[in-house]
Amino acid sequence: MSTRYTKKDAEKSAERLANTLGKKFGKCWTKKGNRNVAEIGCWTYDHNSVYGGGNINEIVNESGGVREPFGSRRLKPESFVNAVNMSIKSVEISRGVA
């Protein structure tokens, strides 16, 4: 029997990858004076099942503009979690941790 992955699982995986790479994840907005400002370099998980699943976004300016550091292809939660697990393992191997 295979494991069923959800959007929540994919988001947790994205956070694990961000932590592995030393990136800030989530809570990307702060208050400066009387305006909200996005933290450049912060990652978020963007999920939309209508468009095929989720992807990682990275904030690129204080207005909240984003780029997709891993490309624009969205993955369903199961594929996303598996891809992130492989990515984390690759980083661990390259660092001599695994």
- The pLDDT tens digits for 19-58 are 999 999 999 999 999 999 999 999 999 999 899 899 999 9
Are the CB atoms for 85 and 13 separated by under 8 Å? yes
Q: For residue 3, what pLDDT is reported? A: 82
Are the CB atoms for 87 and 17 separated by under 8 Å? yes
Domain extent, residue 20, equals 7-91
User: What is the identity of the amino acid at 11?
Assistant: E
The reply to whether 97 falls in a domain is no
If pLDDT is split at 50, 70 and 90, which confidence band does 15 have? very high
User: Structure pTM?
Assistant: 0.90
Report the domain count for the chain: 1
The reply to whether 18 falls in a domain is yes
The reply to whether 16 falls in a domain is yes
43-48 and 53-59 strand pairing? antiparallel
Q: For residue 28, what pLDDT is reported? A: 97
